Amino acid sequence: MLADLTRVTITTKKSIHAKKFAKLVFDDGTILDGDGFGYSTTVFGEIVFNTGMVGYTEALTDPSYSGQILTLTYPLVGNYGVPDPSIVDEDGIPKFFESSKIQARGLVVHELSLTASHWNLSMTLDEWMYNEKIPGISGIDTRELTKKLRTSGVMMAALVVSDSEIDVDEIKKQLESAPHYDSEQFMDDVSTKEEKIYGDDENTVVVIDTGAKHAILRNVRDIGYKVVLLPWNTTYEKIMSYNPKGIVLSSGPGDPQKCPDTIDVVKKLIQDNVPTLGICLGAQIIGIAGNTETYKLKYGHRGQNKPCVNLENNQVYVTSQNHGYGIKPESLDKSDFNLWFTNADDKTVEGIKHKTKNCIAVQFHPEAAPGPYDCKFVFEELKQLMEKN
Ligand SMILES: NC(=O)CC[C@H](N)C(=O)O
C-alpha cells in the first residue's frame, strides 16, 4: 500500500510552551543566554555536539546520549516535526524512535523552526520535549559553542529553562556538586530488565542490551534471525541457554569500564569462539575483553558523515557515529585484534577483528538511524561468521 504522503503542517508564532528565561552554564564559568522551549526545568550533564543535518528524533532517543546535553550544529532544527511514536514494524519495533523515551538530558539549537511540515508529522519538537519533560534552549550560536568544545574538550554544563529569573550563582553551586558524566552508571536505566523476543525464526541472535537502539534489533531481524534481547549483566550460562548462533553487543552510554560484568561475559564468548559483533560501546567492551585499552576522546565523534577506511579493501565508507570514548590505537599491538577500520579524519580506531576467533567490532553505527546505510554489510559479516560456525 502506498503511504499517505499528504503533507501536515503546524505553524506556531513562538514555542507554545515558551519560557522567558533560559541559560546554559558551563563548568568553566561561561554563561550563554537563549530562549527556552520544551519543559521548564534544570538539568546537568556533559555538553556535546552533533554535526548531523537531520535525525533529531533518532538522536534524542538514542540511549547513548543519556547523561548528555546535546547541541545540534545544523542551524535550523524542528522543521519536519516528530512522527507518531506508536508506529511499529511487523516485529513490534518502533519505526522512527530508537528507544521508548528521550534519552538526552537537554537540547541546544540555534533556531527552533516555528513551522513543522512533513507527511509523517504528529507533533512539533517543542511539544514532544514538553511532554517528555526535557528542556531546550534556542538562540545559541551553536557553531561558536562547537568551536569552544573542540578547543577545550567536552565539559559538564547546566541547562536551565525557567518561568522566573534564574539565580546563576545557585546554578553554579549545583553544577559543582552534580555527578560527573564520567562517573555515572547508566546501565540500570537504559538496559532492559527482562528478556524480550522479536520474531520467530529458527535461529537466534542474542543482543546484549547495554543501551541498544531499535535499529540494531531491526538489522539483526533483516539478516534472518530471531532476536533475544537480554539485560546488560546476563550471565554467560543464561545467554548460552538460548542456543544462540551469534551475539551482538549493543551501543550504549558512558565509560565501557562501567560494564565489568559484560566484559567478563565477552571474555568467555571469545574463548568459546561464539560469533560476536560489537557496536560502539559493544566494540569498546570487546576491545577491553581482548586486551586493548580505552580512553576518552577530547570532544568525541558525533555526526552522520564520518569517513572510515576499511583496511581490507582500502575503501572509504561514510558512517554515522556517536561516541566519546575509543580504543587506544597503540594498545592494539599487544592485543588479540587486528585493526579493521580507521577514521580518515583523525586516524582513531573504528573497527577491529579478532586475530583467531569469530569476533568483530565497529566503533561506528552500521545500523545508521540516523545516518547513511553504507555499512549495513557489517551485519552480513556477522551472518557469515554464524553460517560458517
Ligand atoms: N554510541 C555508543 O555506543 C557510545 C559508546 C560510549 N558510551 C562512548 O561514548 O564512546
* Cell output for 266: 565477552
Is 29 annotated as belonging to a binding site? no
Instruction: Determine whether 280 is an active site residue.
Output: yes
pLDDT value, residue 278: 98
Instruction: Determine whether 308 is an active site residue.
Output: no
Domain spanning 8-178 has what CATH number? 3.50.30.20
Domain boundary assignment for the chain = 8-178, 187-388
Count helices and strands in the chain by DSSP H and E runs: 10, 21
Instruction: Determine whether 375 is an active site residue.
Output: no
Complex ipTM value: 0.98
Query: Each residue's pLDDT tens digit in the chain (389 positions)?
Result: 445 566 778 776 566 656 679 999 999 999 999 999 999 999 999 999 999 999 999 999 999 999 999 999 999 999 999 999 999 999 999 999 999 999 999 999 999 998 899 999 999 999 999 999 999 999 999 999 999 999 999 999 999 999 999 999 999 999 999 999 999 999 999 999 999 999 999 999 999 999 999 999 999 999 999 999 999 999 999 999 999 999 999 999 999 999 999 999 999 999 999 999 999 999 999 999 999 999 999 999 999 999 999 999 999 999 999 999 999 999 999 999 999 999 999 999 999 999 999 999 999 999 999 999 999 999 999 999 999 98
Ligand 1 mean position to 387 CA, how many Å? 29
138, 110 in Cβ contact below 8 A?
Answer: yes
pLDDT value, residue 8: 78
* Cell output for 148: 569552544
| Residue entry with cell 516485529 | 91
How many other CB atoms are found less than 10 A from the CB of residue 272?
A: 11
For residue 385, the surrounding DSSP H or E stretch is helix 377-388
Q: Is the CB of 68 under 6 A from ligand 1?
A: no
Ligand 1 mean position to 364 CA, how many Å? 9
64, 104 in Cβ contact below 8 A?
Answer: no
How many other CB atoms are found less than 10 A from the CB of residue 170?
A: 11
Is 198 annotated as belonging to a binding site? no
Query: What single-letter amino acid sits at 243?
Result: N
The DSSP output letter for 17 is: T
Is 211 annotated as belonging to a binding site? no
282, 251 in Cβ contact below 8 A?
Answer: yes
Q: Is the CB of 186 under 6 A from ligand 1?
A: no
- Return the best residue to mutate from 62, 232, 251 for the ligand 1 pocket (most ligand atoms within 8 A of CB): 251
| Cis preceding linkage at 244, omega within 30 | no
Beta bridge partners of 21: 162
Q: Is the CB of 251 under 6 A from ligand 1?
A: yes
336, 360 in Cβ contact below 8 A?
Answer: no
Q: Is the CB of 325 under 6 A from ligand 1?
A: yes
Domain spanning 187-388 has what CATH number? 3.40.50.880
Nearest ligand 1 atom to the CA of 280 is 3
Q: Which of 201, 312, 319 is nearest to 251 (CA)?
A: 319
* Cell output for 169: 550563582
* Cell output for 166: 534564574
What is the distance between the alpha carbons of residues 221 and 282, in angstroms, rounded to a whole number?
A: 18
| Residue entry with cell 569517513 | 307
**Cα torsion 193, 199, 203, 207: sign:** negative
